[in-house]
Amino acid sequence: MSTQNKIVVSTFLAKLEKLWNMRILINF
């Protein structure tokens, strides 16, 4: 994987993590 792809993937994962955390907060 190129460096640019790694940056894109980590940004995407960070966004997913934020969405997931928000969902958990809403559920509780």
Residue 20: the pLDDT is 92
Residue 1: the pLDDT is 67
Chain-centre distance of CA 15, in angstroms?
Answer: 3
DSSP per-residue codes, 1-28: --HHHHHHHHHHHHHHHHHHHHHHHHH-
Residue 10: the pLDDT is 97
Q: What pLDDT digit, counting tens, does each position of 1-28 carry? A: 689 999 999 999 999 999 999 998 887 6
Residue 26: the pLDDT is 83
Residue 11: the pLDDT is 97
Residue 27: the pLDDT is 77
